[in-house]
Amino acid sequence: MSGPTLFEKIIAGEIPAQKEYEDELCIAVHDINPQAPVHLLIIPRKPIPRVGDALDEDQDTLGHLLIVARNLAKSLELESGFRVVINNGPDGGETVPHLHIHLLGGRPLEWPPG
């Protein structure tokens, strides 16, 4: 990986994004190409390339991301359901080599996803 990722630039404020949430471990922004009425990206501040490359020491951060997803789903009133997605590698749909969680909701979601 050469240079900062798109998400590192968003976290640094170099690229504008519509923030929904942030704390010391992560930031949540609206996806610029939403696939549902609610489509947030929950991004750790620590640049973990992908979940398959996460270290044991990242356990607290990974758990925190899921708790943030849960809390955002509650605050956005997604009572009827929501989906969390983590893409890993090109065949998994990964387009940015910086771990992030997609939070999708606001409409019925199909299965399989694609």
- Candidate list 30, 39, 98, 100, residue with the active-site label: 100
30 is catalytic: no
Buried b (16+ CB within 10 A) or exposed e, 26-59: bbbbebeeeebebbbbbbbbeebbbbeebeeebe
Q: Which residues are catalytic?
A: 100
